């Protein structure tokens, strides 16, 4: 179905810089997210007919659309306001009508979307694409989700003849830095189950994520003149390289797919005297996840034993867990979304998320929260794009879920 306000709503949202900031200790981590919630989303939520719209200390903006029929479930829809760690200032989306399969020039830059490099473009022939101008990200992750949820609510309010159950809407902060759902208030949200509208291409329905951990490693060196360094110098950067060299060489993001886990070196900085490395660890299987963390500890212990001092200092902390462990106890939310997609002639793509969503943490708080597609492709950078037709189908699915009767 065509929704008149969807495109303009999405473009309005994308032009607001709501990038999160991992170095900040506030909630939200940037004032821009709070301003976006309070000055743009909150008035709009009220104007389209959501009730009890309120902004919580945890950074979530929540509203309710009461049921107008007899339905068995109260259902929530969640999307995040922040965008990823890429330039988000001056977002200037460009519209490509009736995409013809050719190279798309991104604004006045030297960057292009080329189907030879991005074959996923071939899935969108004849559709309307929204791209960047090559200087920023687009913000489809997750402003597509916000726009789709708002459009679905707007449509239902304007069509009171369509019966639906009670709906709760929640827009939250700081998902991109893994903190947004830490303080999510399940009791205040008060639904039977929810969905994050935060996925990629048409049909994605996901209830498995990585289990995730972060590793921070300090390497303590000893710097002396290189001319007299034999048996004296301990090069902290070399220690970092030695550590990395003992990790499985095939277990990297660029060499893995599907259910394969990995170690990912995010950053390495330092000098001969001191160095620091940051890793993330990912796996779907609990035992494999534990083995990955254990291997890093064993490498640390082995190197320190050889060096005769605690020159490798490892800290590992868990970030989130595979939400399948919670959701598979009651698959109602997954079965419902799958049935709705099938009724809409959308082929459900049920596959693991090689990443995480707020749904991971929220599910472990006791609220089953799988993930629905929102349409974004090539997310988190200048090559990001989204299909308007896919966004429209996401709205169809949201409406279908809340209107479904057994």
What domains are defined for the chain? 6-208+322-403 (3.40.630.10), 212-320 (3.30.70.360)
Cα gap 3→393, rounded to integer Å: 10
pTM exceeds 0.85 for this model: yes
Using CA atoms, how far residue 263 sits from 48, 214, 249, 250, in Å, is 45, 10, 9, 9
Q: Which two tokens stand for residue 387?
A: 């299909």
Return the active site residues: 82, 175
205 and 96 Cβ atoms separated by less than 8 Å: no
Task: Determine which helix (DSSP H) or strand (DSSP E) holds 300, and give its type and residue range.
Answer: helix 286-307
30-34, 122-126, 180-184, 273-277: lowest mean pLDDT where? 180-184
Residue 73, both tokens? 């479930």
Using CA atoms, how far residue 140 sits from 80, 120, 401, in Å, is 10, 16, 22
Cα distance between residue 110 and residue 135, in whole Å: 10
Question: Could you tell me what percent of the chain has a pLDDT over 70?
Answer: 100
CA torsion sign, 256 to 257 to 258 to 261? Answer: positive
Q: Given a cut of 80, is residue 119 above it in pLDDT?
A: yes
DSSP letters for 247-282:
S-TT-SGGG--TT--EEEEEEEEE-SSEEEEEEEEE
Could you tell me the pLDDT band of residue 356, with boundaries at 50, 70 and 90?
A: confident
* Residue 116 CB contacts under 8 Å (≥ 6 apart), including other chains: none
Q: Is the pLDDT reported for residue 406 higher than 80?
A: no
* Structural contact between residues 152 and 6, judged by C-beta atoms closer than 8 angstroms: no
- Residue-wise pLDDT for 46-86, tens only, equals 999 999 999 999 999 999 999 999 999 999 999 999 999 99
């Amino acid at each position: 179905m065509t929704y008149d306000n969807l495109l303009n709503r999405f473009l309005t949202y994308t032009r607001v810089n709501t990038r999160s900031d991992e170095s900040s200790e506030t909630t939200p981590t940037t004032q821009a997210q709070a301003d976006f919630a309070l000055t743009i989303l909150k008035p709009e939520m009220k104007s389209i007919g959501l009730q009890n719209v309120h902004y919580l200390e945890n950074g979530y903006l929540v509203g309710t659309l009461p049921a107008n029929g007899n339905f068995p479930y109260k259902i929530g829809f969640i999307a995040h306001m922040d965008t990823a760690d890429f330039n988000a200032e001056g977002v200037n989306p460009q519209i490509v009508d009736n995409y013809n399969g050719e190279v798309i020039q991104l604004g006045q830059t030297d960057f292009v979307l080329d189907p030879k490099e991005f074959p996923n473009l071939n899935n969108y022939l004849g559709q309307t694409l929204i791209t960047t101008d090559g200087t920023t990200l687009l913000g489809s992750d997750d402003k597509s989700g916000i726009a789709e949820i708002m459009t679905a609510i707007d449509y239902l309010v304007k069509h009171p003849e369509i019966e639906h159950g009670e709906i709760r809407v929640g827009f939250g902060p700081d998902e991109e830095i893994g903190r947004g759902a830490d303080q999510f208030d399940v009791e205040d949200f008060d639904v039977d189950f929810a969905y994050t509208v935060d996925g990629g291409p048409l049909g994605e329905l996901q209830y498995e994520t990585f289990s995730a951990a972060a590793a921070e490693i300090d390497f303590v060196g000893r710097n002396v003149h290189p001319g007299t360094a034999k048996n004296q110098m301990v090069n902290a950067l070399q220690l970092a390289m030695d550590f990395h060299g003992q990790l499985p060489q095939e277990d990297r993001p660029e060499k893995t797919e599907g259910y394969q886990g990995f170690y990912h070196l995010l950053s390495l900085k330092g000098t001969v005297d001191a160095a620091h490395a940051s890793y993330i660890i990912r796996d779907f299987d609990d035992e494999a996840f534990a083995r990955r963390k254990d291997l890093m500890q064993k490498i640390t212990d082995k190197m320190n034993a050889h060096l005769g001092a605690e020159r490798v200092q490892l800290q590992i902390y868990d970030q989130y867990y595979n939400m399948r462990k919670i959701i598979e106890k009651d698959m109602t939310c997954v079965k419902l979304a799958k049935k709705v997609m099938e009724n809409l002639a959308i082929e459900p793509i049920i596959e693991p998320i090689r990443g995480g969503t707020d749904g991971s943490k929220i599910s472990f708080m006791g609220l089953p929260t799988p993930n629905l597609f929102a349409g974004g492709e090539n997310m988190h950078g200048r090559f990001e794009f989204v299909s308007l037709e896919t966004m429209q189908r996401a709205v169809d699915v949201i409406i279908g879920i809340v209107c479904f009767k057994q």
